[in-house]
Amino acid sequence: MSELKARLRADLTAAMKSQDRLRTATLRMLLSAVQTEHVSGKSARELSDDEVVKVFARESRKRVESAEIYTQNRRGELAATEHAEMRVIDEYLPTPLTDAEVADVADTAIARVVEGIGERPSMRQMGQVMKAATAIAAGKADGARLSATVRESSTSPVSSRKRLTSTAPTPPRTSRRSSVASPLPA
């Protein structure tokens, strides 16, 4: 059993003894999500701590999205519950990277790809850069935030790119319907 899963079970027992309903329900939900991931696929397998952290991050994102939807629909009490559950889940996640640290991760990933291909990566090599950046960040940064930072760091100014534009005027469109005779008498 992974260390995080054991810690989760111990914290659940403590929450049950202290009769903390919110914490108990949230920890049970987390254990359920971990168990579901454990048995998903063709055969049951033991999850590593990294895989458990990914499950926790996914559950935390679900709470954020739900809270946003509840807030949009003027359901403040449900949004507050989702935020409280998210705070409990976030106790088990590693501390997220700051913007400066994410920028450093992006620069390091770009440098690794430059070493591999010998030139500054274009948008076609974005997958290689994101693979390297995701490995460096190790679950401490959101993928969308990481992707935006990598795009900022790797793009070159538009003015230096050659634009392929045609100066020839476009021909007027003709309708095919006007050339087809109507089968109905007029």
Residues in Cβ contact with 149 at an 8 Å cutoff, skipping those fewer than 6 apart: 99, 102, 103, 105, 106
> Nearest Cα to 151, choosing from 130, 169, 135, 165?
130
Query: Of 63, 1, 9, which Cα lies nearest the Cα of 38?
Result: 1
pLDDT on residue 54: 87
Q: From CA 6, how far away is CA 137, in angstroms rounded?
A: 25
Q: Is the full-model pTM beyond 0.75?
A: no
The predicted model gives 24-31 an average pLDDT of: 95
Residues 96-128: pLDDT tens digits?
A: 888 888 888 888 888 888 888 888 887 888 888
Structure confidence by residue, pLDDT tens digits, 131-178: 888 888 877 887 888 888 888 887 744 333 333 444 455 555 555 555
How many degrees, rounded to 5, is the angle at CA 52 between CA 50 and CA 54?
70
Q: Are 30 and 11 in contact (CB under 8 A)?
A: no
pLDDT for residue 132: 87
